[in-house]
């Protein structure tokens, strides 16, 4: 994991939040390459879970919501608290349920104090008088439930149907740790899928299958993922079944990547009672009922941590150890890097620029790389996961007449090079 964190910083994927001021625990910033990777994952997710389907609708709700939302959902109460304990000697704080010995401080050996409940929501005040209390939302899901009626009234969806949302969530975690795994500000990709009560089991199975396909799309190997069936006595009081999908993170082992819960009609019912608005669904024949809901919930940071863990590879090439990211082509920040063999030969640079612009027009995310020598460029592109490097050399310009107007394509994973005519380059890369 340390190697991944260091690569992320060195190559411009992810930086510590507020780094020049010594940081702020539990926050990370995406750099230029991180933003590209992040956007690729979000786009793939939206495509698979919303646009590729006929039963899904997207929304984008506000982060700040009426405080009554969080009372109705149960977040202001004990349900959204973690047990906290503080060392009486060094005053470090820990999550009591994450300690093997809840009496002794793991940092200094001092005695741990009493365990108390700590609510994870960040509280804030709205308006100049500061009298209106609000929270930074701790999950995106509630924004979906409070817009249920709006979506039903405007889109007339046929049940079963789902509402999806991607956005920021905030939790004042007691002990942020493991890079993007447990942070205080993160992005969720959540779905509430509304069904008739009698159909939940059948839909649960269909969604489980679909979620596995998402992990395939992220390039995660199935042996690194397992389903953890949350035992009945650990289920949230409203859930009849919850399956966590766990990933085998390096140096950490299996831990939650995503959650998938059957939440009955608990949320809509609570919001109907608390708000007084009818949150019933009305069938064409006039039957009215509160739908039950299945909730596949994904954390973007945990997905990115898993993607890096899976892609990070060390091997030996030309007698050297090299590091590369074996990212799937559709997730890599750059699809192709284009280089002139030497940067001080204007005729090479000019031809390379033409090829670069042609590919950029076609694919968009193409890198121009003329830094250092060609070996260094390959190493750099390998480290950021660029699947292909295209090089314009003297043969491109006709030094070997039979090779005029051809370029080399180097494959990231094997290091093998093939020569392709520029006129066929787009098709070859595609």
Q: Which residues bind ligand ATP (CB under 6 A)?
A: 139, 171, 173, 182-183, 186, 188, 256, 258-259, 297-299, 301-302
User: Do the beta carbons of residue 386 and residue 351 sit within 8 Å?
Assistant: no
User: Which CB sits closer to ligand ATP, 84 or 183?
Assistant: 183
Shortest distance, CB of residue 123 to ligand ATP, whole angstroms? 17
Shortest distance, CB of residue 333 to ligand ATP, whole angstroms? 22
3-state secondary structure at position 320: strand
For the beta carbon of residue 289, count every other beta carbon within 10 angstroms: 13
Q: Which of 31, 218, 63 is nearest to 140 (CA)?
A: 63
CA distances to 82, 99, 259, 419 from 246, rounded to whole Å, are 21, 20, 9, 43
Q: Which of 419, 407, 412 is nearest to 355 (CA)?
A: 407
Please state the length of the chain: 430
HSE value, Cβ hemisphere, 13 Å, CA-based, for 374:
16
User: Which CB sits closer to ligand ATP, 158 or 177?
Assistant: 177
Using Cβ positions, the residue closest to ligand ATP within the complex turns out to be: 299
Shortest distance, CB of residue 189 to ligand ATP, whole angstroms? 9
Shortest distance, CB of residue 25 to ligand ATP, whole angstroms? 12
Shortest distance, CB of residue 262 to ligand ATP, whole angstroms? 13
User: Which CB sits closer to ligand ATP, 97 or 283?
Assistant: 97
User: Which CB sits closer to ligand ATP, 65 or 403?
Assistant: 65
User: Which CB sits closer to ligand ATP, 255 or 383?
Assistant: 255
User: Which CB sits closer to ligand ATP, 77 or 375?
Assistant: 77
Shortest distance, CB of residue 52 to ligand ATP, whole angstroms? 22
Q: Which of 188, 168, 137, 176 is nearest to 26 (CA)?
A: 176
User: Do the beta carbons of residue 384 and residue 10 sit within 8 Å?
Assistant: no
């Amino acid at each position: 994991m340390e190697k991944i964190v260091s690569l992320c910083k060195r190559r411009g994927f992810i930086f510590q939040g507020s780094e020049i001021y010594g940081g702020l625990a539990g926050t990370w910033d995406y750099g230029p390459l991180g933003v590209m990777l992040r956007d690729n994952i979000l786009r793939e997710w939206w495509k698979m879970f919303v646009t590729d389907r006929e039963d899904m609708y997207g929304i984008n709700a506000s982060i700040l919501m009426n405080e009554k939302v969080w009372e109705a959902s149960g977040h202001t109460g004990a349900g959204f608290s973690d047990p906290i304990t503080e060392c009486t000697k060094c005053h470090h704080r820990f999550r009591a349920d994450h300690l093997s010995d809840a009496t002794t401080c793991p940092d200094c050996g001092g005695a741990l104090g009493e365990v108390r409940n700590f609510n994870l929501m960040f509280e804030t005040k709205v308006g100049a008088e500061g009298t209106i209390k609000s929270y930074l939302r701790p999950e995106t899901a509630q924004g979906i439930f409070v817009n249920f009626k709006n979506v039903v009234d405007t889109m007339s969806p046929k049940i079963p149907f789902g509402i999806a949302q991607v956005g920021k969530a905030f939790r004042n975690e007691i002990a942020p740790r493991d890079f993007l795994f447990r942070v205080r500000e993160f992005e969720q990709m959540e779905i509430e899928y509304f069904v008739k009560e009698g159909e939940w089991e059948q839909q649960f199975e269909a969604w489980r299958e679909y979620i596995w396909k998402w992990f395939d799309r992220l390039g995660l190997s199935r042996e690194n993922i397992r389903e953890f069936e949350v035992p009945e006595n650990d289920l949230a009081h409203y859930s009849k079944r919850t399956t966590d999908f766990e990933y085998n993170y390096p140096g950490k082992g299996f831990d939650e990547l995503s959650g998938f819960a059957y939440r009955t009609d608990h949320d809509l019912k609570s919001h109907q009672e608390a708000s007084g608005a009818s949150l019933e669904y009305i069938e064409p024949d006039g039957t009215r009922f509160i739908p039950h809901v299945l909730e596949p919930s994904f954390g973007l940071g945990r997905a990115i941590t898993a993607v890096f863990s899976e892609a990070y590879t060390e091997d030996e090439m030309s007698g050297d150890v090299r590091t590369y990211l074996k990212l799937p082509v559709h997730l890599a920040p750059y699809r192709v890097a284009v280089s002139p063999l030497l940067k001080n030969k204007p005729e090479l640079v000019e031809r390379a620029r033409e090829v670069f612009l042609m590919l950029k027009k076609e694919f968009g995310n193409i890198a121009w790389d003329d830094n250092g020598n060609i070996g260094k460029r390959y190493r750099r592109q390998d480290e950021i996961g660029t699947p292909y490097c295209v090089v314009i050399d003297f043969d491109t310009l006709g030094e070997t007449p039979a090779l005029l107007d051809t370029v080399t394509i180097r494959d990231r994973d094997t290091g093998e090079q093939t020569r392709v005519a520029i006129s066929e380059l787009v098709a070859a890369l595609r």
